[in-house]
Amino acid sequence: MVKIFIDPGHGGSDPGAVANGLREKDICLAIALKLQDVLKRKYVGHQLKFSRTTDKTVALKERTDMANNWNADYLVSIHVNAGGGVGFESYIYRGKYANKDYTKGLQRVIHKEIIRVTKFSDRGEKEANFHMLRESRMPAILTENGFIDSVNDVNHLKQTKFLQKIANAHARGIAKALSLQEKSTKQGIDYSKGHDAAHKYHVVQKGDTLWSLAQKYGTTVNQLMKWNQKVVPEYLQIGQRLMIARKESGGNGMYHTIEKGDTLWKLALTYGTTVARLLELNIGIDPKRLRIGQKIQIK
């Protein structure tokens, strides 16, 4: 079982690079959560651990301590670049160490896959003295996924579909580099017919939790509990059928109830839409004054 540690850069009080209405910490987390989904859905033979799965402050030392104490086999730190450039680049530690050739080989596989899938301009496979690379005891890579201050790159980084493409590329690269096996059968969503056609369901698999399903399907644990009132969170059963999305009765739309910390930009990333589309669907809504408990149409 390969243990992979995923580190979405920055977070909490550290926004990372900020430009063009975007914050690096938000993009890194969005990519990381999508990467988690792809790796769990498509591949077997691995375990995942994250330095953060929410917008919280985590010190650099705490991140590498988590990876080292977990005895991770590989560390992937996800970032977005800034400083007047364009394209993708990746880094490994530039010092001398025993497994450098192996680390370089893993970097080469992942780097090439990300370039191939995303079509980013290739800035090269590089080395640096970054903390995440230097202080981790396992092979590690740090990816810089486009420039937040580049008009060319930011037009892509604002698109949820492109962030999904970046996540897919990371997943494919990691799978190739670490020889992860692809799942042989389709699992997960059950698109039911008949009277349930307006809803989507998930068939519980080994390792599923309400939290992981909420992250995977862009909803919340509270909402899943409301939709599945008989479910006992601590005792999910393999093969159990859970509702993970529904359309409001009497209409074709999908809705979200505002919770603390929600913004239109975060909801757009979560539900695979755009802020402009949310504003179009919710005429008169004030993006700066979302109210907890307020219901807004998503699709």
Nearest-angstrom CA–CA distance, 273 and 299: 8
CATH of the domain at 110: 3.40.630.40
30 and 65 both lie in a single domain: yes
22: its two tokens: 């975007």
The CA-CA-CA angle for residues 274, 276, 14, to 5°, reads 60
- The answer to whether residue 182 is catalytic is no
Nearest-angstrom CA–CA distance, 8 and 48: 13
233 and 260 both lie in a single domain: no
Given 220, 245, 270, the domain boundary residue is: 245
Lowest mean pLDDT among 24-28, 166-170, 206-210: 206-210
Nearest-angstrom CA–CA distance, 56 and 33: 14
**Which is the catalytic residue, given 24, 144, 234, 259?**
144
175 and 193 both lie in a single domain: no
User: Would you say how long the chain is, in residues?
Assistant: 299
Given 245, 262, 290, the domain boundary residue is: 245
174 and 237 both lie in a single domain: no
Q: Which amino acid is present at 175?
A: A
More confident residue, 110 or 212: 110
57 and 169 both lie in a single domain: yes
230 and 265 both lie in a single domain: no
List, for residues 91-121, the tens digit of each pLDDT value.
Answer: 999 988 888 988 999 999 999 999 999 999 9
| Count of structural domains, the chain | 3
Question: Could you give the 3-state DSSP secondary structure of residue 195?
Answer: helix
16 and 157 both lie in a single domain: yes
226 and 166 both lie in a single domain: no
1: its two tokens: 């079982």
147 and 271 both lie in a single domain: no
Give the domain range for residue 147.
2-182
pLDDT at 21 over 70: yes
234 and 287 both lie in a single domain: no
List, for residues 228-280, the tens digit of each pLDDT value.
Answer: 776 777 777 776 778 877 654 444 567 788 888 888 888 777 777 778 788 77
Within its chain, how far is the Cα of 39 from the centroid?
10
